[in-house]
Amino acid sequence: MAGAAVQRRLTWLVAEVVDLIEETATVRTVVFEVPGWAGHLPGQHVDVRLTAEDGYRAQRSYSISAPEEGTRVEITVERVEDGEVSPFLVEDLLVGDRIELRGPIGGYFVWEPGRDGPVQLIGGGAGVAPLMAMVRARAAAGTAEPMALLYSARSESDIVYRAELDAIAKASDGIEVTYILTRSWPPGWDGFTKRVDREILEEVAIPPHLDPTVFVCGPTGFVETVASILVDSGHRPDRIRTERFGPTGEP
């Protein structure tokens, strides 16, 4: 891994909001300009810290959803009901606001273009965020390794990055995108319409004999279900990397 991205001491940086993208009714992408940002790898995240007027602090970890681009850092956040931090980020934050963040953080759930053979990405709900950094990095680099994204959402309107993902898939550059809708789907929808299961994974995921690296990210129940099916289907446990988002937004 690039030394510059991990060796520094973690220091809090001031990040200015430069863009806000309403992705779905509950998910927003926040784009920061972060002077002093040292760059990052797809899959890494940031710690975000909010300080109230009385000094009370709340801190959360968010995946970075786009590959390195200068001092620009973007995160995609789903509003968690009764959350301490996400409602502020999704509803109240304005362009021009400044908050504190530090990073990049993490080395386990990380991928770089050109690394180690085929890549299967499996995301549930807002868990697609770090996977999107990997998809975007692979699309930009144009490297040869096959990549497939399997993305489970509640309904069509809950699919984050839909237009961009469709365009990437259409470009036929070795990146495949498959959607699963679990709660409702439009008339004529020809994709999967149930919760992820062994049948879906064995039909569309890159098979074990090709020895893909598999990244699974989403709500805890989703991640553990998928990981256990993958192992039962013959994927090597040490090729499966997981990131659990907790109870939020079961896809």
Binding site for other proteins (CB under 8 A): 1, 3, 6-7, 9-10, 45, 47, 61, 102-103, 105-109, 220-221, 241-247
User: From the CB of 51, what's the least distance to other proteins, in Å?
Assistant: 16
The separation between the first and the last C-alpha atoms of the chain, rounded to the nearest angstrom, is 32
Query: Shortest distance, CB of residue 59 to other proteins, whole angstroms?
Result: 8
Least separation in angstroms between residue 247's CB and other proteins is: 4
- CA 186, CA 137: separation in Å to the nearest integer? 31
By the 8 A CB rule, do 62 and 93 touch?
no
Q: Of the two residues 2 and 171, which places its CB atom closer to other proteins in the complex?
A: 2
Closest to other proteins by CB, 4 vs 210, is 4
The label of the residue with tokens 């990040």 reads: 15
Least CB distance to other proteins at residue 219 (A): 8
Residue type, 49: R
Q: For other proteins, give the closer residue by CB, 1 or 95.
A: 1
Strands (E), the chain: 13-22, 27-33, 45-51, 57-63, 72-78, 98-105, 119-124, 147-153, 175-181, 213-218, 240-244
